[in-house]
A = this chain, B = another copy of it.
Amino acid sequence: MTALNELIESLSRLPGIGPKTASRLAYHLINTDPAYNNILGEEISTIQSKIKNCSICGSFTESDPCEICTDNLRDRTKLCIIEQPQDVITLTTSGVYDGLFHVLGGAINPLEGVGPEKLSFTKLLKRIDEGDFKEVIIATNPTEEGDTTALYLKHILKDKGVEITRLASGLPIGGDLEYADKTTIARSLRGRIKF
C-alpha cells in the first residue's frame, strides 16, 4: 500500500513523531471526517505562503509589518529581544508585556557555527539608534547559548543609553522558553533584573 506507507513516512519526519505514532495518525486520517483531511492538508500546503517574517522585528506575521510593530497602543520605549519568532506568542500570552519585540533568529553557538554575524544584531542596533527605546529586555533562553548571547548583547548595547534587563530566574535552567507556562513567564517578566 504505497499511499499509506508514503503518508506514514512523511508523518514520521515531523519532530517528535516516531514510526508508531505516525502509523496511528495515518490510520486516524483514513477513518476521520474527509472535510477535516482536506482542511488540514490545505493548511499544511499553504502555511509557508501565508506566514512570513516581519521586516521590522522578524516575528511570524501574515501582513508586513506585523500587528505588534504597527500597534500604536504598545509601549514603544521597551524592546524585548528573543531567539525565535514563536517566543513572541509565548511572551504576549503572559499578558504582562506591552512593548515591542526583536527576533534574533537563534542564539550564538560557536560549536554549531552560529556566530553573531548570522543573527540580526546589525538590524537591532539600527532599530535602537533610530527608535525611542528606554529599556531593552533580554529574553534569550536560559541555556548556555542564551546566556552567551545575553552577554554579547550587554556588551554591544552598553553605550546605547538604554537600560538593559534580563528575564528573572524562575525559568527552569537548561529549558526552552517556549515550553514554560504562562505563570512562570509572567513572574520572570515582572521580576526582571538589571543586567
Interface: A179 (CB within 8 A):
yes
Q: Which residues of A contact B (CB under 8 A)?
A: 1-4, 6-7, 10-11, 13-16, 20-21, 23-30, 34, 36-48, 50-51, 60-62, 67, 84-86, 89, 178-179
| A73 to B20 Cα, complex, angstroms | 29
B10 & A43 in contact (Cβ 8 Å cutoff): yes
Contacts of A40 in B (CB 8 A): 10-11, 41, 44-45
Closest to A20 in B: B179
B30 & A48 in contact (Cβ 8 Å cutoff): yes
In the complex, the count of this chain's copies comes to 2
The main secondary structure of chain A at its interface with chain B is: helix
B15 & A39 in contact (Cβ 8 Å cutoff): no
Closest to A23 in B: B86
Contacts of A37 in B (CB 8 A): 44-45, 47-48
The 10 tightest CB contacts between A and B, nearest first, are: A41-B45, A41-B44, A3-B50, A41-B41, A10-B40, A7-B43, A27-B86, A34-B48, A38-B45, A15-B28
| A16 to B10 Cα, complex, angstroms | 18
Q: Which of B30, B39, B44, B85 contacts A47 (CB 8 A)?
A: B30
Contacts of A62 in B (CB 8 A): 1-4
Contacts of A15 in B (CB 8 A): 24-25, 28
| A62 to B16 Cα, complex, angstroms | 29
